[in-house]
Amino acid sequence: MNHVSLARICYDAVRAYARTFGERYVRWDDARPWEQESFSGAAAFLLEAPAATVVDLHGHWLAARMQRGWRHGPVRDATLRLHPALLPWDDVPRRERLKFELVHAVVGVFRGNVVPRLDLASGFGRE
């Protein structure tokens, strides 16, 4: 398994959870590239920083979203770039916190089964 396969598992877990309260998530294969990149980035971050907490994961996600022009809004709206979790961790609604906790837990479960990304800077392939 690689970090993208792990990201898909994380996405599916969050999708299943979100559906329990009526939030719509499309299947992974139908997700927009930036949505897949968001989950891939989260998985990669947690794999590369094994001591990272769920708060660290949220901070990583928050910075990436804000850099792309997202703002806080009461309801997730990709068109308007609004998201209810774009707040300091202590202010994130419990329902949104659980999504980050799910991703953190899923990566923790599968961490030992992920093939590391190839580090080209390490000299691999050089004579």
Mean pLDDT of 52-81: 96
Residue 46 has pLDDT above 60, yes or no: yes
Work out the pLDDT band at 117, boundaries 50, 70, 90.
low
Q: Which residues contact 65 (CB under 8 A, 6 or more apart)?
A: 38, 83, 86
On whether the CB atoms of residues 73 and 80 are closer than 8 A, the answer is: yes
Query: What is the pLDDT of the chain when averaged over all its residues?
Result: 91
Dist CA 85 CA 71 (whole Å): 9
Per-residue pLDDT reduced to its tens digit, 67-115: 999 999 999 999 999 999 999 999 999 999 999 999 999 999 999 999 8
Please give the pLDDT value at position 124.
47
